[in-house]
Amino acid sequence: MNFYGYKRAEGRAGIRNHVLILPTCACGSETARIVASQVRGAVNIIFNTGCSDVQANTDLSQKILTGFACNPNVFGVVIIGLGCETVPHAKLRDKIKSMTTKPVISFGIQEEGGTLKTIEKAVRAARDLAAEAALQQKELCDISELLMGIECGGSDATSGIASNPAVGNLSDKLIDLGASTLMSESIEWIGGEHVLAKRAATPELHNRIIKICADYEAHLKAAGQDCRAGQPTPGNKFGGLSTIDEKSLGCIKKGGTRPIVEVLNQAERPTKRGAIVMDTAGYDISSVTSMVAAGCNAIIFTTGRGTPTGNAIVPVLKVTANAQTFSWMEDNIDVDLSGIIAGDLTISNAGDLLLKKIHDVCNGRLTKAEAYGFSDIAVDHVCRFV
Amino acid sequence: MTNAILLDEKDNVATCTSKAAAGYTIKILGGGEIICVEDIPIWHKVALKKISCGEKIFKYGEIIGEASKDIAAGGWVSDKNIFSVPRDYASEMI
């Protein structure tokens, strides 16, 4: 299977060709938003961290920022810094340039003399990058260039019974075609981790999956917290999911059945091809953020209760098997899989349908969240701001 | 027309695919039928037999929690009467 995408000098092909306006810290976010709004072809993210952090938080936020810049859907980057943040713009720019040959330009608001002067220079830089990006022609790419992130959010009982198994079937089909998939949300392995671990290709990976869950619980306990207080969410419970175990056993079905060949730390880039899992929060926006930083070029997202979420860099294709949710929130959800519950659609047929839908997205079809320009991100934190 | 789905033969709950009022006979895809003893919302679980306090709840053929009170056959199984049991991770290592 092939698609028309944007070949990159290093790594996978892009299915989009964005100019990314990237703030180094929260203080650069508004300026980045204004710059992106002036240039067709540019996208921005709102970044809530980057300053007053302990080292572990800085390490994670830097992995997210550099990962966003290196994402295959990004043609080039304009960085907007402030000047007194933990990692200033020039340092972030040099780090990104050591990881990719993409064009990267950076400005600092304090250096330039305020936001308006920064906006003027950054808009010119972004305009020139966007003009260049528009000249790049799409080329035929093998489906092995696809790294699809798999996410669920606003789950209800239909997710584990229907939409997650359908996405699991899609994942198996993609892997058999040579593509790779990435499933995250390790908090939502708890209660089903012994089932997920059976898919591990080696005993080491098996034990790593179990240890991630044990460490996650120990981490929260050290802060006097319990994951069972926040999971399942009130909406999950209203939708028929009573315990984290019940939610997890449904969640992990979206990863399919193929052997897990690699287990990643949060926002880490994969080195293997096939079915991959990553240690992230179950908070969907944060999990998608980390998968985009890891280099996913498309995301498939199941929901039961309905969600509008989207990501600026990577298209998010949303699916539900809850007929009422699809009809009530059809402007936010791309694919209706309620036929599975009605008995009109088998899981395998649903997997075929999703393969066609995700193939269309790879070829350029806009998802609903993408057409609206939605840009949700949330950067996970190891501990409090300082 | 079925009103609930049984996901595994080991399960002692089924998932309702329509809301069920007390006294209604729920037809279960995957096995038999049961009379509902209280109102159960759509997508929630119905107990397929009497579940005593302390008994494990099975869905997908796996343990999803433990009953915190007695649940009648045909009763509503929810976060109000079951809870998540802490994991024994050390025993899962190979």
User: Does A277 fall in a domain?
Assistant: yes
With CA atoms as reference, the chain A residue closest to B63 would be: A245
How many angstroms away from the CA of B79 is the closest CA of chain A? 4
ipTM of the complex: 0.97
User: How many structural domains compose chain A?
Assistant: 2
Contact list in A for residue B65 (CB cut-off 8 A) is 242-243, 245-246
Final residue before a domain boundary, out of A81, A111, A135: A135
User: Does A380 fall in a domain?
Assistant: no
pLDDT tens for the 94 residues of chain B, in order: 679 999 999 999 999 999 999 999 999 998 799 999 999 999 999 999 999 999 999 999 999 999 999 999 999 999 999 999 999 999 999 9
pTM: 0.97
d(CA A86, CA B5): 53
A384 pLDDT above the threshold of 90:
no
The pLDDT of A321-332, averaged and rounded, is 97
User: Does A325 fall in a domain?
Assistant: yes
Cβ of B65 and A217 within 8 Å?
no
Both A23 and A148 in a single domain? no
Name the phi and psi angles at A63, rounded to 5.
-65, -40
Strand-by-strand arrangement of the A316-320 sheet: A260-264, A275-278, A180-183, A147-152, A298-303, A316-320, A335-336
d(CA A25, CA A110): 13
User: Does A238 fall in a domain?
Assistant: yes
Both A105 and A227 in a single domain? no
Q: What is the pLDDT of residues A66-106, one digit of tens each?
A: 999 999 999 999 999 999 999 999 999 999 999 999 999 99
Final residue before a domain boundary, out of A84, A117, A135: A135
Query: Does domain B4-92 sit in CATH 2.30.130.110?
Result: yes
Which residue segment(s) compose the domain that A94 sits in? Answer: 18-135
User: Does A6 fall in a domain?
Assistant: no
The pLDDT of A364-381, averaged and rounded, is 96
Cβ of A245 and B5 within 8 Å?
no
User: Does A153 fall in a domain?
Assistant: yes
Cβ of A213 and B45 within 8 Å?
no
Which residues of B have a CB under 8 Å from any CB of A? 5, 7, 15-17, 41-45, 59-60, 62-65, 77-79, 82-85, 87, 89, 92-94
Q: What is the pLDDT of residues A248-296, one digit of tens each?
A: 999 999 999 999 999 999 999 999 999 999 999 999 999 999 999 999 9
Question: How would you class A203 by CB atoms within 10 Å of its CB: exposed for 0-12, middle for 13-18, buried for 19 or more?
Answer: exposed
Cβ of A244 and B84 within 8 Å?
yes
How many angstroms away from the CA of B35 is the closest CA of chain A? 19
Both A268 and A320 in a single domain? yes
What CATH number corresponds to the domain at position A25?
A: 3.40.50
How many angstroms away from the CA of A270 is the closest CA of chain B? 24
Residue B19: what pLDDT?
94
Q: What is the pLDDT of residues A25-36, one digit of tens each?
A: 999 999 999 999
Residue B1: what pLDDT?
63
Let me know: does A174 contact A1? Beta carbons within 8 Å.
Answer: no
Q: What is the pLDDT of residues A290-306, one digit of tens each?
A: 999 999 999 999 999 99
Residues in chain A: 386
pLDDT band with cut points at 50, 70 and 90 for residue A231: confident
Both A319 and A299 in a single domain? yes
Both A171 and A115 in a single domain? no
